[in-house]
Amino acid sequence: MLVYLKVENFAVVEKVELNFSPNLNVLTGETGAGKSILIGAVNQFLNKKVPETAIRGEDNTLVVEAMFSAGDDEFVLRREVNKKRSLCFINGSVVPFTQLKEKAESLLNIYGQNEHIFLLNATNHRIYLDEFCRNQLLLNELSEEYNHLRTLIEQLGQLKKKGENAGETLEYITFQINEINDLKMESGDDTRLEQRSLILSSAEEILSRTHKLIGDLYQRDRSVYAVISENLKNLDFLKSIYPTELENLTEEMRNFYNLLPELSSTLSNISGRVDFSEDELNEVSDKLLRLNRLKSRYKMNLEQLLHRRDELLKERNLLADMDFSLSEKQKEIEKEFLVYKTVNLKLRNCRKEKAIELSKIIEKELSSLEMSKAKFLVRIDEVEPDPDTVSEKGTDRIEFYFSSNPGQSPGKIREIASGGELSRLMLVLKSILRDDSNSTYIFDEVDTGIGGKTAEFVGEKLQRIAENNQVICISHLPQIASFADSHFLVTKEFKKNQTYSFVRELSQEERIQEIGRLMVGSDINDAVLKAAQNLLDKNKK
């Protein structure tokens, strides 16, 4: 919703600040007063190039600033343009123009001459029809089937790609599997081999050191064990005199004394198991060498190499059964494609049924807007699905066709509808399909060439749209102005050889005067003012 708009130095506007109603806002004014200039100012958020003539004065900076609310969020868009540079801001931060435009497009819907982006894009026709049909559940189902089908097709493509070089791939995979299998190693074997290699390569040193330790600690006449045994009585004597100092140390000495036989026995067992074999050492070293080469080549440890072998075995089996795999995947695709076609047909039938209803409603609504001879057609070109060209939105082509003159065959809207016709079409479409999107719709030229009761119908439709959305409408008709929640008057003054446009919100009394002026021009009397008051009272919510 557009909450606030400030415009400075834009064409004939020196400075304007406006606060808008969340519902229906109408701008009126005399011909040439500059009613459409505010639309042009807002368009500066959407059009990158700003003509130099749009900037008021030689040295001034054109400023357009707007505050929008979207739920609990607020956005302030600002653009500053002078003859030297152009700056764009969102919430005070400088951003590229594309980012400013993207944000503005998400917040604004402008319908005026050359601004009917919605109607000029056939993709939006499909979106509108589906919203009218309430097809979201069907679209979700079709999208799910589409994604599943695309996944299967991608998998088939990957299988085919593998199958193109299946012979070479099989040969290389087999080589890798054999290379790992030739190690004849399982999980944890690398640690055991490294330990065995260390024992075999250090056998002589192990025997030498264990024999010396056993002799020095336990077996020789003057071993540590014998010396401690001789001195335990001496230590006990000293402890009896110095119990505090020697109690714990004496206990530790006895523990060590008792430990020596056990240590000697363990060392004897170790030395007894050392059996050096040069052949075994060579075999272990060769295995470790081959393992380290593979670890280096594949950048993997033994556990990862074994896992890689298991994966390669699966891949080899898959390649070996490639023909079968391709056939099975093709069957999956055909089965899923039938499901997709079924959902696509449901969607098509629903669209066709509702398209007729929508066309009748739109023609009836257009008739009330002095377009009684207008023809509106929702054209659905059926396109049978193909697995390679399916779409998550359905395969049929949908486009709105229209004609405003009797005897003229309906043609594509983007090719034959005028600006005023496009505005009325958008007004009808938006009044038929009301939503709770809280969007901002700006209508320009919507009342071109109409009057009387038709103008009142237009006002009713604008009011209907404004129930759930914000509407800003430029008008020259009293019937439309009478529906406004907020009424703004655009005036023009000529002073100091320059033209100035001003905009202000009208009070209730001022509204009566302005609606009276719209009714009869400058010749306003009491009867006109009473008629204006009656019109306001009649169309008040």
Same domain, 100 and 198: no
Q: At what angle do helices 278-298 and 302-320 cross, to 10 degrees?
A: 70
Same domain, 97 and 190: no
Contact assessment for residue 119 and residue 430, using Cβ atoms and an 8 Å cutoff: no
Same domain, 86 and 220: no
Residue 26 domain-assigned? yes
Name the domain count of the chain.
2
Q: How far apart are CA 17 and CA 20, in angstroms?
A: 10
CB neighbours of 88 closer than 8 A, spacing ≥ 6?
A: 78, 79, 94, 95, 96, 97, 99, 100
Helices (H), 9-76: 37-42
What are the tokens at 522? 């400058």
Smallest Cα–Cα separation from 486: which of 453, 511, 520? 511
Residue 176 domain-assigned? yes
Neighbours of 532 (CB within 10 A): 24
Contact assessment for residue 135 and residue 309, using Cβ atoms and an 8 Å cutoff: no
Find residue 275's DSSP bridge partners.
Answer: none
Find residue 401's DSSP bridge partners.
Answer: 377, 412
Residue 145 domain-assigned? no
Biggest CA pair distance of the chain: 142
Residue 487 domain-assigned? yes
Q: How far apart are CA 501 and CA 15, in angstroms?
A: 9
Same domain, 104 and 172: no
Same domain, 172 and 316: yes
Coil/strand/helix, residue 109: strand
CB neighbours of 73 closer than 8 A, spacing ≥ 6?
A: none
Same domain, 107 and 186: no
Same domain, 108 and 35: yes
Residue 16 domain-assigned? yes
Domain end among 279, 303, 320: 320
Contact assessment for residue 420 and residue 444, using Cβ atoms and an 8 Å cutoff: no
182 to 280, 298, 310: CA distances (angstroms): 17, 16, 14
What are the tokens at 217? 């600690």
Same domain, 97 and 191: no
Q: How far apart are CA 408 and CA 403, in angstroms?
A: 6
Same domain, 81 and 183: no
Residue 133 domain-assigned? no
- 202-229 per-position pLDDT tens digit: 777 777 888 888 888 888 888 888 888 8
CA 216-222-226 angle, 5° bins: 90
Same domain, 81 and 194: no
66 to 38, 40, 79, 346: CA distances (angstroms): 12, 13, 9, 45
Neighbours of 15 (CB within 10 A): 13
The parent domain of residue 219 ranges over: 167-320
Q: At what angle do helices 203-214 and 189-201 cross, to 10 degrees?
A: 70
- 63-80 per-position pLDDT tens digit: 999 999 887 889 999 999
88 to 1, 51, 93, 347: CA distances (angstroms): 20, 16, 8, 43
Same domain, 181 and 316: yes
73 backbone φψ class: left, alpha, beta (φ>0; ψ -120 to 50): beta
Same domain, 96 and 220: no
Residue 158 domain-assigned? no
C-alpha count within 13 angstroms, C-beta hemisphere, residue 494: 3
CATH number of the CATH domain containing 53 = 3.40.50.300
> Mean pLDDT, consecutive 10-residue segments, the chain of 541 residues?
92 90 91 75 87 81 92 91 90 94 84 62 91 94 94 87 70 86 82 77 77 84 85 86 87 89 86 73 80 85 86 80 78 94 95 95 86 91 88 93 88 82 81 72 76 84 87 91 94 82 92 92 89 89 63
59 to 14, 16, 81, 402: CA distances (angstroms): 13, 19, 11, 48
Q: What value does the CA radius of gyration of the chain take, rounded to a whole number of Å?
A: 45
- pLDDT value at residue 113: 47
Residue 350 domain-assigned? no
Q: How far apart are CA 130 and CA 348, in angstroms?
A: 10
Find residue 66's DSSP bridge partners.
Answer: 5, 77
Domain end among 267, 288, 320: 320
Q: How far apart are CA 514 and CA 521, in angstroms?
A: 9
Return the H-helix or E-strand segment holding 527: helix 526-539
Domain end among 320, 350, 369: 320
